[in-house]
Amino acid sequence: MKINKKLEILKLISATLGLILVISAVFIFIFPLHQRNIPPSHEKLLKGVARFRFNHANALSGWEEKIFKGKVVYSVKKDKTGEYLNAYSKDAASGMIYWMEFNPKNHPMVSWKWRVTRFPERKKGAPGDSWWLEKDDYAARFYVIFPRFPLFRFRCLEYVWDKDLPVGTIITNPNFKNLKIIVVESGVKNMGNWVRVERNIYDDFRKLFGSSPGNAGAIAIMTDSENTQSVAEAQYNDIEVGYEKQ
């Protein structure tokens, strides 16, 4: 009996260690080591974890494209205001993601500049079967992603510039309850002008999810117009991630 009991314990330990190894391998595969805890080398670090100023020298170094439907054209352009990242979408949805890890409790602030030059063309009328899909096209989005295991449990703050919804509107994505959409700029009043946005992601997360966040794992940007089958265009620049509230 004693020998059988010891064998059962050894089998349990072996199975547990095997499960831990599998989980570790999956995590490393999806979140490669070289993508975590490493700020972008092409930018001078300021008061935060990292800062991105898009130009022809660094282009999109370190950023990865995530394609949902079609490809949005992300390219560095220049005008009298300087260089910036331009996003042009024609019936497409793809975003750019940058993996980095930081603690939002100690470094809660993020900021960025964006400018909308063309909004996706939504149909007019009462909400129907296509209402959410139509609404889920935005000229400009900025994401902060909080990974968790299993990976489908990750949580996300999505800040958008919407043509119609008022600033302060909060939407839970009906297809994924762990994605909270926050309207931080609205309408055409500032269309064609650079607008700077600053958010305390620690406070936003606690307000919307009712708990404190773990480490953030990535940021992302996206312009899309696949649901409306139209054109959208916006520009991004001066992203600063993970600094203390002044």
Query: Residue 226's closest CA among 64, 115, 68, 118?
Result: 68
Write down the mean pLDDT value for the chain: 80
> Where residue 152 falls among pLDDT bands split at 50, 70, 90?
low
- Unique residue bearing structure tokens 């994924």: 176
Buried b / exposed e over 99-108, threshold 16 CB at 10 Å, is bbbbebeebb
pLDDT at position 48 is 61
Query: Does domain 34-243 sit in CATH 2.60.120.200?
Result: yes
pLDDT, tens digit, 9 for 90 and up, residues 31-77: 443 343 334 433 433 456 788 989 888 788 889 999 999 999 999 99
> In angstroms, rounded to a whole number, what is the distance separating the alpha carbons of residues 152 and 143?
16
What pairing do the DSSP bridges indicate for beta strands 140-146 and 216-224?
antiparallel
Contact 171, 193 (CB under 8 A): no
Going 37 to 42 to 48 to 52, the CA torsion angle's sign is negative
Q: Domain map of the chain by residue range?
A: 1-30, 34-243
pLDDT at position 244 is 83
> In angstroms, rounded to a whole number, what is the distance separating the alpha carbons of residues 141 and 234?
10
150-159: long-range contacts at Cβ-Cβ below 8 A with a sequence spacing of 24 or more?
151/26, 151/30, 153/178, 154/178, 154/217, 155/179, 155/180, 155/205, 155/209, 155/213, 156/180, 157/182, 157/199, 157/201, 157/204, 157/205, 157/208, 158/182, 159/184, 159/197, 159/199
Q: Give residue 238's identity as a one-letter amino acid code.
A: D
pLDDT at position 4 is 57
pLDDT, tens digit, 9 for 90 and up, residues 132-149: 444 678 999 999 999 877
> In angstroms, rounded to a whole number, what is the distance separating the alpha carbons of residues 102 and 137?
29
End-to-end CA distance of the chain: 66
pLDDT, tens digit, 9 for 90 and up, residues 84-126: 999 999 999 999 999 988 899 989 999 999 999 999 987 654 4
